[in-house]
Amino acid sequence: MAHLFTLSELSVTEIIRLLEDAEQFRKGHFWRPPEPMFIANLFFEPSTRTKCSFEMAERKLGLHVIPFDADMSSVQKGETLYDTVRTLEAIGVNALVIRHSQDAYFEELRHTVRTPIINAGDGCGHHPTQSLLDLLTIRQEFGTFAGLTAAIIGDIRHSRVARSNAEVLTRLGAKVLFSSPEEWKDEANPYGTYVDIDTAVAEADVIMLLRIQHERHAEKMGLTKEQYHERYGLTIKRAKKMKANSIILHPAPVNRDVEIESSLVESERSRIFKQMENGVYVRMAVLKRAIEEGRMANGNYFEKWQ
Ligand code: CP
């Protein structure tokens, strides 16, 4: 399948292949599609990292980026996501990158759209390319996943990053710990064991902090930012209890001094900006896969017309 909706749909072999391709791109490997290719990035939710790093990856691969601004599109006249996607497909776009606030928005497109779709985040559902860049960062650090302990800390229930990472890290042989305020626990996620934050910080090789997803909360948070930081954040005091070689990840954007003390964001232990850099390489690998598998699945549209 050329689509990439969730990492759960990829085998371990396919995931490792994407990480290896990303590593090759990091080392300067050159790859271009065999004919002109057109990509559209459909972002119906705000984004800085994912949108800009997809665009960077697309330009590095020599792909033509078709501008799409949801606020200036016919979505504002009531056009559905399905009709928007079918329109871009009819125009001749070769792959689509989509972020949408609706969980599993892609289900209605799965069997009806032949153009490869890359999920750039669906509501509280999944964020496969974020997960891949997290995996690449962990692999660069430790060379493996088996035997590692990853602590995912914060707003677990509303986090697509937590959902994607817990499943794939477990499948790759890591142990996953969760730590969260009671109201943001996700009892439906079977891939982690809940512990208090001090235990999570002390036991983890990888400390993965999550942004508080205010935009997905039905009610206002019952704690002040200071109270949250003290009870559930990575404080300086807690960071001193980290294992000798453990690292800090955060998908960002970061609420400095809330989920993590500001000076720790750029500390020796932090790989937060390394994650962003890796995002470009991972997205190059994912785009390459979409183009190669899309050409195979669709009977090589271009060759038919030569
Ligand atoms: N990590 C992440 O998805 O960031 P953006 O929302 O800025 O894309």
pLDDT of residue 42: 98
Ligand 1 neighbour 49 (Cβ under 6 A): yes
Same fold, 7-127+279-304 and 128-275: yes
54-to-36, 39, 120, 245 alpha-carbon distances in Å: 17, 10, 9, 31
Residue of 41, 44, 49, 56 to mutate, ligand 1, most atoms within 8 A of C-beta: 49
**Reported ipTM exceeds the 0.90 cut:** yes
Mention the CATH class of domain 7-127+279-304: alpha beta
pLDDT of residue 296: 75
Give pTM, 2 decimals. Answer: 0.95
Domain boundaries of the chain, sorted by first residue: 7-127+279-304, 128-275
The domain 128-275 is placed in CATH, from the list 2.30.30.60, 3.40.50.1370, 3.40.50.970, 3.40.50.150, at 3.40.50.1370
Q: What mean pLDDT comes out for the span 235-243? A: 98
pLDDT band at 238 (very low <50, low <70, confident <90, very high): very high
CA distance 101 to 198: 33
More confidently predicted of 107 and 303: 107
pLDDT of residue 305: 42
Q: Which helix (H) or strand (E) holds 289?
A: helix 272-297
Q: Is 114 labelled as part of a ligand binding site?
A: no
Atom of ligand 1 nearest to the CA of 45: 6
Q: Is 127 labelled as part of a ligand binding site?
A: yes
